[in-house]
A and B are shown apart, each in its own frame.
Chain A
Amino acid sequence: MKNIRNFCIIAHIDHGKSTLADRLLQHTKTISDRDLKAQVLDDMDLERERGITIKSKAIQMEYHTQGETYFLNLIDTPGHVDFSYEVSRSIAACEGALLIVDASQGIQAQTISNLYLAIENDLEIIPILNKMDLPSAMPEEVKDQIVDLIGCKREDIIPASGKTGMGIEEILQAIIHRVSSPQGDESAPLQALIFDSVFNPFRGVIAYYRVLNGVIRKGDKVKFMATNSTYDADEVGVLKLELSPRNEIKAGDVGYIVSGIKSAREVKVGDTITHVSRPCSDAIKGFEEVKPMVFAGIYPVDTEDFEELRNSMEKLQLNDASLTWEPEASAALGFGFRCGFLGMLHMEIIQERLEREFKMTVITTVPNVSYIAFTKKGETLIVNNPSELPDSTKLEYVEEPFIKAQIITKSEFLGGVMTLCIQKRGILKGQHYLTQDRVELTFEMPLAEIVFDFYDKLKTISKGYASFDYHPLEYRQSDLVKLDILLNAEQVDALSALIHRNNAYEFGKKMCEKLKELIPRQQFEIPIQAAIGAKIIARETIKALRKDVTAKCYGGDISRKRKLLEKQKEGKKRMRQVGSVEIPQQAFLAVLKLD
């Protein structure tokens, strides 16, 4: 055990965690140069395409130094806010953390929140000043920031570069000398914390765990304490680039178990594994349940594909337990599902995976947060879909979720950022200068105002020099109204939104304008109206289509014209007929594109 080290890599998004991991893997020859590609741990297609980490990845390295062999379990974590729960889980399996800070960007919002997570869990922090190769690196200034933040010694900070390999040996030495080896009792009853699970279509669910006490052996009968189910440990092993079977995994180490589990829902991340024959007395304190932040309807474009969509959603959930859904019906769209997501990126990813992995073309409706409605009769209702909001005559009041937002920006953008937050109904709670020209702002804001386009706007206003992090607060009463959209005088429930009364007019007007832009002209004129109750507050008209013809000379090139029509036909397949109007898929997300 004294030669084991468990550590994770944490940082703000894009500060170079996965790239630095590449260098560590290369240096320790965990990966041959032949297998090495950039951000090798980001192995999902979506991760590679978007260049971001979505899921934490654990991998074991062997490091030989001063005549000893060390086993280093590394966990690379994602930086995006939507997936911050992944970080807290990884931290629970470690004794140390590499806190990476981009030398050209300095401390950012997730640097701070991830650092606090690590400190709360008593992890040894090794600060790393990364991307030193960049001409725009400001090592001295960023070192000041780091010293201020964690109160470490200046010389504890390791300058490094995931690009050039600078500092890698020093980082490995620091891990061995500064991170403590795991504590634990091999002879005690088995007690292992599940910190992650992945779904493999051939082998079922594979759970990753950290053994705190005892030993888990191949063939053992084990029990998952929270779900109270028992399994045979068909295979146990350590995580190399591939799964690497072992006969036993001992206290202090990180490993995996394959036990014929079919569904991801059977495995609760945060659960404790123990032996059936000699169970441990207490379960390890698990994780807080991951709560969805954003809800939206997902409907098949073709109503006949409902069952197929259900199948696909079930399969998706096998490897993404954070996705929640339940069937719902919409007057406009028929049968579909109300899904809960961790954030907008998560929603985008789910939609993309449905299209890519399951060939399902779906309509995603206007996303919203979860509200609580209090009726005059004294009932309390959870409203995850605007159309479920009780009639205003029956409604006493509505509460919406608030969050605490932390924003770090340069002082020159302070004004712009403040204006944006106040526009978004934010209440300023604190303002704190980190250095002379970097300031941290704390706001309390409705979650609904930040889930959609807040971060994009923040980035624009601050020319990229603002970072943002948030944590849920309680629900608070708000003056919300339900805004309906009518197309050709018919209400389209999938386009309804709950919105603060003060913003309703502006919002309604923009919705109508955007829909006019997104809905193609049709045979007849289509009025678009926004209404609160019976009151119309905005209106636009899509004129009737009077011309759709190729009236140019195209000679014998019939193919090109046919292909144009075929493309139009494909586009039509992505449209949904609601009443008499054909609505393209992307119009249902119009609300996200308002500016």
Chain B
Amino acid sequence: MSALYLHIPFCRRACYYCDFHFSTSQQTRQDVLRAMLQELIMRSHEITSPIQSIYLGGGTPSLLEYNELMMIFDQIFLLQNVLQDAEITIEVNPDDLNRDKLKQVRNSPVNRFSIGVQSFHDDDLKYMHRIHSARDAEYAIKGAQDNGFDNISVDLIYGIPTLTHEGWINNIQKLISFDVPHISAYALTVEQHTPLFHLIKRKKLNAPLDASIIRQFNNIAQILPSAGYEHYEISNFAKTGFRSRHNSSYWQGKAYVGIGPSAHSFDGKNTRRWNVSNNIRYIKGLQGESEWFETEYLSKENKLLEWVMTSLRCAEGIRRESADKFGPGQFDKFINNATQMSSHWFNADADVLRLTPSGMLMCDYITLQLLN
């Protein structure tokens, strides 16, 4: 079984914090899409049948016109066997989800929305230079639900300097009251080479504070589980049956094929590859004019690190029998290293190593300590 990702590298405007690959110029759009159809053909043998999830991410896939969207799906369905109940997600920005768009999507194979709300407060949206308003966000969720889309995920961002404690609690409560079954909550992260980085450096914007990030993470990690959501990955919460199957394949070391500029692929064993993060070079590459992807082969050490890093992030944690596949005594070694650390970080269990919310906040540190 395979997971298929398609990267639509276009946005209407650049959010300050974003370090994904996208372009605000639509000039290369036709050529990029054409090249992606080409890539789908070239790499169809890499996709193990049947496909269990398709994810249109970006960028902003909700920018696509109906015919562009269908062009992609037609190509996929022509080449591949897609499971009847496959999870087919499209990332949407709230300002795109008008009545027409909803109708179009209903006439496509898409059965899941991931809505980039980020916050229900205009101050926060402005700070991040998001294109939509708080009202757009509410309308988008309602509109989707009114059109029969129940399988909805909403993204929130915390740690925004303009986001107050009340504002944050309010954002969480709103999603609970909308009965949104899947929520992703990310900490505002200042990455180098983003406008946010420079604006903070030039003191035009305030920097996010660790203290707020810690507090707001603890808030959501406490509120959502008591409202019936499972905290199944550091940044992800879901009601029963609504975990994201697609994203889970990233964390569970399953195979996925990524199509489009900057998309990443993994063969489920030891090869990762990724496409160039540049639309022109991607187009030229697929015309056979230049290199357009890089490949990386994982050593045993790489694989162990990746496995610990991703497993610790998930509710399942690190299991003895899986750990010992890397070598006898591996799990005991982890336990031994864990006992050197704060007991508040772990949920004690003889055969599973799982993080508590305060442990999740230290996940990177713990990953390295465990591998010491």
Contacts and interface: CB of A to CB of B under 8 A. Distances in A.
Interface stretch (B26-34, B82-90, B264-272, B328-336): B264-272
A547 B214 contact: yes
A548 interface: yes
A561 interface: yes
A548 B363 contact: yes
Interface in B126-170: 155
Contact of B363 (A549, A556, A557, A559): A549
B186 interface: yes
Contact of B361 (A546, A553, A559): A546
B302 A549 contact: no
Given A523-B341, A547-B210, A557-B274, A552 B187 contact: yes
Given A546-B210, A547-B361, A565-B309, A556 B256 contact: yes
A556 to B, nearest CB: 4
B368 A565 contact: yes
Interface in B178-198: 184, 186-187, 189, 191
B296 A523 contact: no
Nearest to B234: A551
B189 A551 contact: yes
Contacts of B302: 562
A150 interface: no
A572 interface: yes
Most-contacted residue by chain B among A549, A565, A566 (CB, 10 A): A549
Nearest to B258: A556
A551 B191 CA distance: 12
A225 to B, nearest CB: 58
A151 interface: no
B309 A552 contact: no
Given A547-B210, A552-B187, A566-B305, A559 B264 contact: yes
Interface string B340-356: 01100000000000000
A549 B362 contact: yes
B217 interface: yes
Interface in A539-588: 545-553, 555-559, 561-562, 564-566, 568-569, 572
Nearest to B187: A551
B2 interface: no
A568 B57 CA distance: 29
Nearest to B303: A562
B124 to A, nearest CB: 16
A566 to B, nearest CB: 7
A199 B197 CA distance: 50
A546 B371 CA distance: 20
Contacts of B362: 545-549
B56 interface: no
A378 to B, nearest CB: 51
A537 to B, nearest CB: 30
B74 interface: no
B368 A569 contact: yes
B149 to A, nearest CB: 21
Interface in B249-274: 250, 256, 258, 263-266, 272, 274
Contact of B305 (A551, A555, A562): A562
Nearest to A544: B342
Given A562-B309, A565-B309, A553 B235 contact: yes
A565 B308 CA distance: 11
Given A551-B217, A553-B186, A555-B264, A545 B365 contact: yes
Contact of A549 (B155, B264, B305, B364): B364
A553 B155 contact: yes
A136 to B, nearest CB: 34
A567 to B, nearest CB: 11
Contacts of A572: 368
Contacts of B10: none
B22 interface: no
Interface string A365-403: 000000000000000000000000000000000000000
Contacts of A546: 210, 214, 358, 361-362
A556 B341 contact: no
A548 B369 CA distance: 12
Given A558-B250, A562-B302, A565-B305, A549 B361 contact: yes
Interface string B258-295: 10000111100000101000000000000000000000
Nearest to A553: B186
Contacts of A547: 210, 213-214, 361-362
Contacts of B363: 548-550
A562 B235 contact: no
Interface string A275-287: 0000000000000
B239 to A, nearest CB: 20
Nearest to A557: B264
Nearest to B359: A549
B263 A556 contact: yes
B52 interface: no
B30 to A, nearest CB: 25
A546 B357 CA distance: 11
B364 A548 contact: yes
B5 interface: yes
Contacts of B184: 553
A291 B281 CA distance: 60
Nearest to A523: B342
Nearest to B342: A523
A546 B361 CA distance: 7
A568 B372 CA distance: 12
A152 B201 CA distance: 57
A561 B210 contact: no
A556 B265 contact: yes
B235 A558 contact: no
Contacts of B263: 556
A413 to B, nearest CB: 32
A566 B213 CA distance: 24
B93 interface: no
Nearest to A547: B361
B122 interface: no
B157 to A, nearest CB: 9
A568 B364 contact: yes
A336 B258 CA distance: 52
B365 A548 contact: yes
Interface in A50-78: none
Nearest to A556: B264
B186 to A, nearest CB: 5
A550 B361 CA distance: 9
Contact of A561 (B213, B256, B309): B309
Contacts of B20: 555
Contacts of B371: 569
A561 B263 CA distance: 15
Contact of A550 (B250, B274, B364): B364
Contact of B235 (A551, A559, A569): A551
A523 B302 CA distance: 26
Nearest to B296: A559
Contacts of B189: 550-552
B95 interface: no
A557 to B, nearest CB: 5
B238 interface: no
B96 interface: no
27 contacts: A523-B341, A545-B365, A546-B210, A546-B361, A548-B361, A548-B363, A549-B363, A549-B364, A550-B364, A551-B186, A551-B213, A551-B235, A552-B187, A552-B189, A552-B191, A553-B184, A553-B186, A555-B5, A555-B20, A556-B5, A556-B264, A558-B250, A559-B274, A559-B296, A562-B306, A568-B364, A569-B371
Given A548-B364, A556-B5, A562-B305, 14 more contacts: A523-B342, A547-B210, A549-B361, A549-B364, A551-B186, A551-B234, A552-B191, A555-B5, A557-B274, A558-B264, A558-B266, A562-B302, A565-B305, A572-B368
In order of increasing CB-CB distance, the 8 nearest A-B pairs are A551-B187, A556-B264, A548-B365, A552-B189, A549-B363, A547-B361, A548-B364, A557-B264
